Amino acid sequence: MKSYIKHDEWRVVESGFHAEFNEITESLMSLGNGKMGQRGNFEERYSGKTLQGNYVAGVWFPDKTRVGWWKNGYPDYFAKVINSINWIGIDIEIDGEMVDLAKCEILEFYRELHMQHGHLMRFCKIRLQNGKELHIESVRFCSITHDQIGQVDYEIIPVNFDGKIKITPYLDGNVQNRDSNYNEYFWDEISKSANDNRAYLQVKTKENKFAVERFDICAGMDVEIFLGGHKQAVSFKNIESEKYTGLEFEIDAKKMQSVRILKKVAIHSSNNFFPDYLVTECEKSLDSVANLKLQVLQRDAWKLKWENCDIKIEGDESAQQGIRFNIFHLLQTYTGQDARLNIGPKGFTGEKYGGVTYWDTEAYCIPFYLSAAEHSVARNLLVYRYNHLQKAILNAQKLGFKKGAALYPMVTMNGEECHNEWEITFEEIHRNGAIAYAIYDYINYTGDETYLNEFGLEVLISISRFWSQRITWSENLRKFVMLGVTGPNEYENNVNNNWYTNYIAIWTLKYTLEAINKVKNNATDYLRIKAELNFEEKEETARWTEIVDKMHFPYDEERQVYLQQDGFLDKELLNVEQIRQHRPINQNWSWDRILRSCFIKQADVLQGLCFFEDDFDIDTQRRNFDFYEPMTVHESSLSPCVHTILACKLDKIEKAYEMYVRTARLDLDDYNNDTEDGLHITSMAGTWMSVVKGFGGMRVKNTQLHLNPILPSNWESLSFRVGLKNNLLEIGISKDGVTIKNLSESDVEISLFDNKVLIKGNSEYFSVG
Ligand code: BGC
């Protein structure tokens, strides 16, 4: 754990430079706007520890799969979101010495990510090797009002000298991914040009045999110079080399006189325009923002976002900072306007996980976007999977499944599988269930049943077909069983009858049967779907019903708990406290030792109890929690939030708080020693759930809001807003009671501590206790 980031309600602050943690700070201070994003790198050169990262949504490269032992069915490539043009760069040279914070003396240093205003600010005072001192201040952001634009406002003040400063703002496509095979570069140059104070660079992803699609990116920069606050007419010298264009100029600066460089950059990709038009589009975008005060617009736009998405916690600054940090990054990563995009586990903050889609989206992110954004945002996430259905069917075919069975990939960019560890790629099939569950979740929350007719039912039938082929009839048990799977707990591989997987499979079959009956009300839609899928309703549904009736669920009668898998009780059942000094076990133990142990990477049985809580009474939930929680090491970021939610429900408030801090400050305090790789974006939605579903006790059942709040003892109050079908509600929970403000015109009925309450439009309700 690290504690160099200052606690502050709205800002992430590094005071004094911590060079050894620079990659961590770069992750924490990442910026984004849904369309592009970047790590918190410095604008000027830096030869110290750094992971350079600029990313454009939906732009990726199919890197050849490298594995030691090839298994039939492995995908040929691994989709990577790639580091793209560095657009923030500004070189500063004084008397032949290039400013490089790793090589000069740092006299003062401060940087902050301003979450309320949506920008990254840095201030430093440095002494160069030649003795000259400079004051540097920069403010940077990815615009959320003009999501093709980024801006760097960079100021230099010579502190102890008058003299010439050579300054070169540039665009550079000579960038790599740290995780590229064989140190390859992924970009070819297409064009570069410069004109006055503007320069453009267009690059294209390299050709390789897996690249069905190649992507072009173009960046255009517009540079303005101010001396002592006055705009200067500067003649720039265009410096060009391969995949690089810079606008160099030299300025005579006086001691304590400010030299300000305002660099606006437009970025477009071939995802939205034909490659031939990209330079023109960048030019048009730069023209369109030429006279705008983008930073003011940015601040106002973030203010609006926060109005509905903020969560206020009084009495606990670190918890407050934690939740805002998580919400800020979620809002920066995905805006839900484009159904081709999704949410990578690292978002725009690093390379790990390839930046692609996992079950995390359905299991963790959908609830956040359902409540905190327009319903169309969550809908687009569902449509993303619908659009990949044919590829999921092909994926299942490749593995030997038939008749339209769909297995969605474990990891994907365009619907094709690109994960390559057999025990996960072929066996972690519970992901299919989460995709079905998300359809239910969306309809339950929004009431938008038309989704089933338009898209949902096709996905459900195809997934159900997969389950019905994936199970095996066991003559021995006289039950259906599911062999050779990996559950959410990836510290067990190739197990039989993972309870969670069996449960979600059966649940999917039941939900699909219900969905068929609903869609049948519209004969035209139903007949179309039946024809499209060659659905043999009678035979297929009869088999599903039989499976539902005869599925095996491992259970221990003595302890009255569900067993994570067959044979779980053969393990030595230990408590994580007994291996405290060995943690994290994934860094200290051999893989076979992990597999043989009872230790659980992330919620597994408990994940099922969280999704399907209404199927189980509270005592069952408590027994399972008490059995599994002490064996859980939470070495996946997705784990603590599930435990918070259950712990709140079971009145275990101290445990809930411990787990909350772990999820909310996971990156801020670098709990898992891996923040330098990037932030855990998808688990941030889990943090949101810990507060809203955990402490807020909020559930939506059939579009109706239910609240059963409980506060940690050190919180004075908690408040958040929830968007429902026709209403926007503000929930305030304090030690005195619960206040619910209905911010909409129409009345709303909710359930508070299991009592029905009607709240009139534009009115407030208060309940003591
Ligand atoms: C977790 C998976 C998750 C993936 C990406 C892994 O460590 O075990 O459940 O999908 O990370 O977040």
Pocket test for ligand 1, best of 425, 504, 632, 638 (most atoms within 8 A of CB): 638
- Number of C-beta neighbours around residue 621 at 10 A: 17
User: What is the pLDDT, as a whole number, of residue 355?
Assistant: 66
Strand, helix or coil for residue 529: helix
CA dihedral 682, 686, 691, 697 (to 10 degrees): 140
User: Angle at Cα 345 formed by Cα 412 and Cα 328, nearest 5°?
Assistant: 135
Pocket test for ligand 1, best of 360, 365, 418, 427 (most atoms within 8 A of CB): 360
CA distances to 35, 188, 222, 338, 340 from 272, rounded to whole Å, are 11, 19, 21, 11, 11
Residue with CA nearest ligand 1 atom 3: 360
Distance 301 CA to ligand 1 centre (A): 33
State the distance between the two ends of the chain, measured CA to CA, in whole angstroms. 37
User: Angle at Cα 425 formed by Cα 570 and Cα 363, nearest 5°?
Assistant: 80
Give dist(CA 287, CA 281) in Å, integer.
Answer: 10
Quick check: 480 and 473 in contact, CB under 8 A? Answer: yes
Distance 159 CA to ligand 1 centre (A): 49
Distance 208 CA to ligand 1 centre (A): 28
Give dist(CA 84, CA 63) in Å, integer.
Answer: 15
Q: Which residues are marked as active site? A: 490
Residues contacting residue 53 through CB under 8 Å, at least 6 positions apart: 26, 30, 38, 39, 41, 83, 348, 349, 350, 351, 678
The answer for 517, left when phi > 0, alpha when psi is -120 to 50, beta otherwise, is alpha
Strand, helix or coil for residue 304: helix
Report the pocket of ligand 1 as residue ranges, CB < 6 Å: 345, 353, 358-360, 488, 490, 601-602, 636, 638, 682
Tell me, what DSSP letter sits at residue 362?
I
Report, in this order, helix, strand and coil percent for the chain, each rounded to 5.
Answer: 35, 25, 35
- Look at residues 501, 470, 466 and name the one whose alpha carbon lies nearest to residue 486: 501
Quick check: 412 and 79 in contact, CB under 8 A? Answer: yes
What domains lie within the chain, and their CATH numbers?
Answer: 5-305 (2.70.98.40), 696-769 (2.60.420.10)
> H or E segment at 51?
none
The sign of the CA dihedral 629, 634, 639, 641 is positive
Distance 639 CA to ligand 1 centre (A): 10
- Number of C-beta neighbours around residue 299 at 10 A: 16
User: What is the pLDDT, as a whole number, of residue 66?
Assistant: 82
For residue 160, the one-letter residue type is N
- Look at residues 700, 649, 33 and name the one whose alpha carbon lies nearest to residue 301: 33
The sheet that has 704-707: what strands, in order across it?
698-701, 704-707, 748-752, 755-759
Residue with CA nearest ligand 1 atom 9: 488
- Number of C-beta neighbours around residue 94 at 10 A: 20
| Strand runs labelled E in 419-540 | 472-474, 479-481
Distance 56 CA to ligand 1 centre (A): 23
Distance 636 CA to ligand 1 centre (A): 6
Q: Which two tokens stand for residue 386?
A: 């619908």
Give dist(CA 588, CA 583) in Å, integer.
Answer: 7
Pocket test for ligand 1, best of 346, 351, 358 (most atoms within 8 A of CB): 358
Q: Spell out the alpha helix ranges (H) of 334-429.
A: 360, 366-372, 375-387, 389-398, 422-425
Q: Which two tokens stand for residue 252?
A: 């005579």
Q: What is the number of the ligand 1 atom nearest to the C-alpha of 601? A: 8
Q: What is the number of the ligand 1 atom nearest to the C-alpha of 360? A: 10
pLDDT in tens, 230-265: 999 999 999 999 999 999 999 999 999 999 999 999
CA distances to 135, 229, 255, 258, 590 from 159, rounded to whole Å, are 6, 17, 6, 10, 55
- Number of C-beta neighbours around residue 746 at 10 A: 11
| Residues in the chain, pLDDT under 70 | 355
Question: Looking at the whole model, is its pTM more than 0.75?
Answer: yes
Residue 421, phi then psi, degrees to nearest 5: -130, 115
